Amino acid sequence: MNKLELVSKVAESAGLTKVTAAKTLKSVLDVIAKALANDESVTLIGFGSFSVATRAARIGRNPQTGKEIKIAARKVVKFNVGKNLKESVCVKPKAGCGCACKTVKAKKK
């Protein structure tokens, strides 16, 4: 789903016009981006949380030449999935699925 499809679904679901839904979505995304730029976290209960983490400087390797290169420290955005979203994605849990949902335990013989 792309942004235009998301706007259409939001407009339909909330009974809004597409223009109003697009402005609302843009506003929400702008507020999240500004909060992250100020090193704040944004938590949407049940959906997930956005936060900023710092990656340490490290030594990497150029895959073409094999030469070592220095990779500078930088800030990255992280997203942690909320419980409701996680459960809605993994509707048929299997033993050892690794998604931390309510997994079915394998029976021992």
The reply to whether 94 falls in a domain is: no
51: closest CA among 59, 66, 40?
40
The reply to whether 15 falls in a domain is: yes
What is the per-residue pLDDT across 80-97, written as a single tens digit (0 to 9) for each?
Answer: 999 898 888 876 666 666
The reply to whether 24 falls in a domain is: yes
Instruction: Report which DSSP code applies to 91.
Output: S
Mean pLDDT score, 61-79? 95
- 101 contact partners, CB below 8 Å, separation of at least 6: 86, 87, 90, 93
CA separation for the pair 16, 27 (Å, rounded): 15
The reply to whether 83 falls in a domain is: no
Question: What value does the mean pLDDT of the chain take?
Answer: 88
Tally of domains within the chain: 1
- 43 contact partners, CB below 8 Å, separation of at least 6: 49, 50
The reply to whether 92 falls in a domain is: no
The reply to whether 14 falls in a domain is: yes
The reply to whether 60 falls in a domain is: no
